[in-house]
Amino acid sequence: QFLGSTEVEQPKGTEVVRDAVRKLKFARHIKKSEGQKTPKVELQISIYGVKILDPKTKEVQHNCQLHRISFCADDKTDKRIFTFICKDSESNKHLCYVFDSEKCAEEITLTIGQAFDLAYRKFLESGGKDVETRKQIAGLQKRIQELETENAELKNKVQDLENQLRITQVHASPAGSVTPKSPSTDIFDMVPFSPISPQSSTPTRNGTQPPPVPSRSTEIKRDLFGAEPFDPFNCGAGDFPPDIQSKLDEMQEGFKMGLTLEGTVFCLDPLDSRC
């Protein structure tokens, strides 16, 4: 059972451990009176440290590295209690971890002591390289985490700048405005012909102006004297004076009766008044 951990002022000492045990035992009695049970844990002891795990999910609750453990002891007055003091890696405070084991409290304390002996032998065999390597790896991992955090912040800043630039461009250019493009020319420096675009009035290289293209107009053309051109399909009865119309009607009746133009006399005087 894991009674918990509490901060201590010294990294080692029997009296320091006893004070921590009394404090955590008192806290356990209060929790029991409130109906809370003391949690059970599983310990993994190796030359790298002591891991405190959840016995069901195997989730690591605390990872105490061996080189940070400064003191380990079991309580002589209570054979169920064993403790060790470890320096926290983040806060650099000394924490005393207290456990309650019914049968193997002393064996666990001896096992942690054996882990120290094995770690020290390995340190001597490797000439200290193993410890230095682990320190370098830990430093690199920390640096990688810092760089990842810095990289995420820089990405956010770049995204904000891009959004501000887009907003500035939208306000600078009015909606619907199109920048006119100059027409491209061929190898003879001539503007390509387009039936939609009007003829350009720009002179060629030899200085001559191209002939103007006659514009198509919907207005009615008139002759030299200002008269409209004759259109037999558009002329009606209203285009002639009443006397001329009556004569034309008489000629049409005469044609129906078999008359010819040889004996007919025409008078064009009234027509002269139209010119």
Which pTM was predicted? Answer: 0.47
Q: What is the pLDDT of residue 208?
A: 55
Query: Residue 152's pLDDT is what?
Result: 87
Phi, psi angle pair for 52, to nearest 5° = -105, 115
pLDDT score, position 104: 85
Bridge partners for 50 per DSSP? 45, 64
Lowest mean pLDDT among 26-40, 136-150, 236-250, 260-274: 260-274
Could you report the per-residue pLDDT of 157-214, keeping only the tens digit for each? Answer: 898 888 888 888 877 765 555 555 555 555 555 666 555 544 444 455 555 555 565 5
pLDDT at position 102:
82
Model confidence at 270: pLDDT above 50? no
Of 5, 116, 135, nearest to 50 by C-alpha is: 116
Whether 67 has a pLDDT exceeding 80, the answer reads: yes
The reported pLDDT for the residue numbered 184 is 58
* Rounded CA separation 66/112 (Å): 9
Share of the chain above pLDDT 90, in %: 24
Q: Over 70: is that where the pLDDT of 64 sits?
A: yes
- Give 99's pLDDT tier (boundaries 50, 70, 90): very high
**Cβ-contact 18, 6 below 8 angstroms:** no
Instruction: Report the chain's mean pLDDT, rounded to a whole number.
Output: 76
Which residue type occupies 71?
F
Residues 17-51 pLDDT 10s:
999 999 999 999 998 888 888 899 999 999 889 99
Mean pLDDT of the region 54-65: 91
User: 95 CB contacts (<8 Å, ≥6 apart)?
Assistant: 5, 6, 7, 8, 85, 86, 87, 88
